[in-house]
Amino acid sequence: MTGKVFKEGGHLEYAIEAKGLSKSFGQHIAINQLDLQIPKGRIYGFLGPNGCGKSTCIRLLTGLLEASNGEVNILGKPLLGNEESLKQRIGYMTQKFSLYDDLTVKENLSFVGAIYGFTGKQKKARINELLSLYDLEKQTKQFAGSMSGGQKQRLALACATLHSPELLFLDEPTSAVDPENRREFWERLFDLCDAGTTILVSTHYMDEAERCHALAILEEGNKRADGSPQQLMEAMPAKVVEVSGDNLRRLKQNLIQHPDIMSAAQIGAHLRVLVKQKVANPLRFISQLSDGRVAVLARPSLEDVFVACTGGRHVD
């Protein structure tokens, strides 16, 4: 911990700053001493398995939950005491669909528009703009409850961005969406980002995490690593070796027994092995262990980083 103190009014260049953010539910610590610095105009990712505290963290940052400990500054203002005024400036797309199933697409948008103070022509224009942007023009009269996962998610994004927030929270926005629609969705996110919106998105998909400008890997409420995908891959405390040959399943069982091997996972005809940093020559090390099968060094992927950081393997 660097002991850096918050200045009065916070840092303007950060959309989100958190220090020592903690949250416990009874005995259970859901978020543990989280420090975050998310610059404005970026897409920042929370990557982590189920139950690691992604949603809880977002709820803390939006002011929906009260932190047990720690300070949060949102858009340069302390969150505590400014929750209501910040609500005009942030948007939140919940993990579970939180619009009204028994209202139509248009009625949902109209309701949200009115809540944010839009009226008359201005509201109509904004709704039409969103309907065409998120390709919902054919569904205007359809009940939200009867739409497909992808359509629901586009409607939710339209509602969350209706008031053009400066900061957008997206909690696992693409969990019910096919890869094609997911690409589309990310196009929209980059559009928003280009327009100056800061986006915080949680996910457990590696490919999504890789699209973020920067991300934090969360596990059991702790931040295991953070930085850009590139930085994370470079700074990974392990080497990646790919072994090919036969009887890979048996080999895997043997390899994971070794204390210097973090993990081994079969990917097609290869066995992808993470070897601890301290091993000087990982290729020779693996060759010896695998009876002379072919071993090559491979470029680390985000998944490797994730595996190396989580499951108790981050501690040496």
Interacting residue ranges for Mg ion, rule: CB under 5 A: 55, 95
Number of residues that bind ligand ATP (CB under 6 A): 13
Task: Return the number of other C-beta atoms located less than 10 Å from residue 232's C-beta.
Answer: 25
CA distance 278 to 316: 10
Q: Among 4, 7, 96, 299, which residue sits at the site for other proteins (rule: CB under 8 A)?
A: 96
Instruction: Note whether 201 binds ligand ATP by CB under 6 A.
Output: no
Closest CA to 52 of 31, 72, 25: 31
Instruction: Note whether 35 binds other proteins by CB under 8 A.
Output: no
Stretch that binds ligand ATP, among 47-55, 85-93, 104-112, 233-241 (CB under 6 A): 47-55
Number of residues that bind other proteins (CB under 8 A): 33
Instruction: Note whether 27 binds ligand ATP by CB under 6 A.
Output: no
Q: Among 6, 9, 12, 51, which residue sits at the site for ligand ATP (rule: CB under 6 A)?
A: 51
Which residues make Cβ contacts (< 8 Å) with residue 301, sequence separation at least 6? 206, 233, 240
Stretch that binds other proteins, among 95-103, 216-224, 271-279, 298-306 (CB under 8 A): 95-103
Residues 214/304, Cβ–Cβ less than 8 Å:
no
CA distance 107 to 284: 65
CA distance 81 to 124: 33
Name the token pair of 193.
Answer: 């980002």
Stretch that binds other proteins, among 12-20, 59-67, 244-252, 260-268 (CB under 8 A): 59-67
> Left (φ > 0), alpha (ψ -120 to 50) or beta: where does 121 sit?
alpha
Q: Among 11, 24, 29, 97, which residue sits at the site for other proteins (rule: CB under 8 A)?
A: 97
Q: Among 14, 46, 92, 185, which residue sits at the site for other proteins (rule: CB under 8 A)?
A: 92
Whichever of 90 and 307 has its CB closer to other proteins, that residue is: 90
CA distance 138 to 264: 48
Whichever of 134 and 306 has its CB closer to ligand ATP, that residue is: 306
Which residues make Cβ contacts (< 8 Å) with residue 300, sequence separation at least 6? 233, 236, 238, 240
Q: Which does 51 bind (CB under 5 to 8 A by kind): other proteins, Mg ion, ligand ATP, none?
A: ligand ATP
Closest approach of ligand ATP to the CB of residue 268, in Å: 27
Closest approach of ligand ATP to the CB of residue 60, in Å: 9
Whichever of 64 and 265 has its CB closer to other proteins, that residue is: 64
CA 246 to chain centre: 37
Strand (E) or helix (H) holding 255: helix 248-255
CA distance 276 to 270: 19
Closest approach of ligand ATP to the CB of residue 201, in Å: 12
Sheet of 261-267, strand order: 261-267, 270-276, 238-244, 294-298
CA distance 119 to 110: 9
Residues 62-101 that bind ligand ATP (CB under 6 A): 95
Name the token pair of 123.
Answer: 């509201």
Instruction: Note whether 69 binds other proteins by CB under 8 A.
Output: no
Name the token pair of 31.
Answer: 């978020």
CA triple 113-212-165, angle to 5 deg = 20
Q: Which does 50 bind (CB under 5 to 8 A by kind): other proteins, Mg ion, ligand ATP, none?
A: ligand ATP
Closest approach of ligand ATP to the CB of residue 51, in Å: 4
Q: Among 56, 62, 94, 108, which residue sits at the site for ligand ATP (rule: CB under 6 A)?
A: 56
| Chain positions contacting other proteins, by CB under 8 A | 59, 62-66, 83-84, 87-88, 90-92, 94, 96-103, 107, 110-112, 114-117, 119, 159-160
